[in-house]
Amino acid sequence: MYRSARQFPINALPLILRDALLDLQEKTKVPIELCFAALLGSLSLAFAGHINVQRYKCKPSSVGLFIFAIAESGERKSALIDGAFAVHETFIRFVRKKTSEQKEAGKAAEVVWKIKLKSITDEIKVAAKKGAPTESLQEKLEEHFKKQIPRPFVPEMRFKDVSPERLAKAVKEWPSVGIIAGEGEKPVNGRAFQDLSLLTEAWDGAPLKADRVDDEADYGDEPISQTSMTIMVMLQASAFEKFMRKKGEQALGLGLFARPLFCNPPSTQGTRYIDMGFPYFNGMKEFDERLLHVLIENWKAVTDGGFERKTLKFSPDAEKYWIIYFNNIEAGCSDLGEFSDMKAVASKLADNMARLAALFAYLREDTLEISLEDAENADQVLEYFIAEYQLIFCRPPPVPVPQDQADATRFDHWFRDRIGKRTDLEREDVAKYNLSELQRCGPYPERKSPGRVDAALRRLKNQDKIWIVRDGKSVEILCNPRYFGHINNFVL
């Protein structure tokens, strides 16, 4: 349906990400742009709960990305998601093992804690019956609750489809959640995209507040803070068009579709050969290890009650580069500017560039500074997604077909149909038609207007498809047998 006009800038990626990309692409044989979209979604989901990014004169904001990749059936989308997000499954297995160990190790401590709790509550009951003061006992109870054994938990961070209420609960327990789907028709046309304004706010990092709450827990009216959300959805063009027909206007109007990165690369189907001579290359290993390290560090901080996101800032040179980038985008939003037909998207480009730069910087190492190279690389990658967005959403309207060309095409088809049905023609015979016959029996719209018939025939004559012979008032149309292929069932 759509085709990329720009080659993906693979050399702009950090080495860890580049190696992972080449490894995943070699294993799946899918377009490299789809591989990058999946890996970027995995990176965003892992890091968005751990770091923020601070732009010039702005408060720290989320690094979570929204990514939509359009890919046809047979593009191995589910296998690609499984490969890119395998590290998250490894993390969940690690947490389950640790929580099981903690639960076993904490059984004795929990029994002692409950015994002490009962002892304190019994003292309060006795004092209350006697009418004695209970303030000191209440303070003792409050201190005891502070020593309560933390409840081991396994974070719920990855969903294919999710209601706003369940999303609200997940965000309250874990600082980064994502809607991740290799077959995205269900989430985009399901519960996950029922409230588009909530998703828009989630990208902005605003506190989430569900209209309803889960039956198992009461969150009251307290907004869910520290929201960082990732969307990585791959879907077929038909599913995307279905969503656009139903909610496209709303998604564009609310600004939801101004925030994501879109891509629709050409298919590699038909070229996905098995190469037995390709050497083994485990480029995903370092990428997965880095993400797993960050996820485990985050989990320990959350369970210990010391969770706080790190904030990455631009180095002086990188900040100058970002400011120039921002100003160039702003200039491009003028009436005759590069982004005049996509101003809403342009307003989020500098934010997305900062998010990409922060992810690139922290993927390499535990740093709080975004380098100039990170900013430049993020700029290059974003250029690809800008070009993709323009191809998908800003395609120019079709060029109007001149009336005489449209009429000539209909006459072309009319002649072919008539000649194909005739049995009175020999192979080298030329089919002849009188102009009056065309005006009487020719294509309906044209025969009502002699001027349109004449213009259409002139165009066919100029293309050497017909010859026009005049004999007094009589005008005959001769069809060139070398063009009109079938005469008396022979192909000339």
Query: What average pLDDT does range 38-59 have in this prediction?
Result: 95
What is the rounded CA–CA span in Å between residue 421 and residue 243? 45
Residue closest to 159 by CA, chosen among 184, 131, 180, 190? 180
What is the rounded CA–CA span in Å between residue 474 and residue 65? 72
Whether the per-residue pLDDT at 212 is higher than 50: the answer is: no
- Strand-pair category, 158-159 with 66-70: unpaired
Q: Maximum distance among all alpha carbons in the chain?
A: 129
pLDDT of residue 166: 82
- Strand-pair category, 490-491 with 486-487: antiparallel
How much of the chain, in percent, has pLDDT values that exceed 70?
87
Whether the per-residue pLDDT at 105 is higher than 70: the answer is: no
pLDDT of residue 107: 67
Least confidently predicted of 87-96, 304-313, 448-457? 448-457
Which of the two residues, 105 and 26, has the higher pLDDT score?
26
What is the rounded CA–CA span in Å between residue 364 and residue 360? 7
How much of the chain, in percent, has pLDDT values that exceed 90?
36
Q: What is the pLDDT of residues 132-183, one digit of tens each?
A: 888 887 888 888 777 776 666 788 888 887 887 888 788 888 889 999 998 8
The number of helices, as runs of H, and strands, as runs of E, in the chain is 19, 13
Q: What is the mean pLDDT of the chain?
A: 83
Whether the per-residue pLDDT at 282 is higher than 60: the answer is: yes
pLDDT of residue 213: 44
Least confidently predicted of 253-257, 288-292, 335-339, 364-368? 335-339
Least confidently predicted of 183-197, 203-217, 246-260, 379-393? 203-217
- List, in sequence order, every beta strand (DSSP E) within 207-309: 229-235, 261-263
> DSSP code of 257?
G
Which of the two residues, 164 and 434, has the higher pLDDT score?
434
Region class of 87: left (phi > 0), else alpha (psi between -120 and 50), else beta: alpha
Half-sphere exposure of 366 (CA within 13 A, CB side): 7
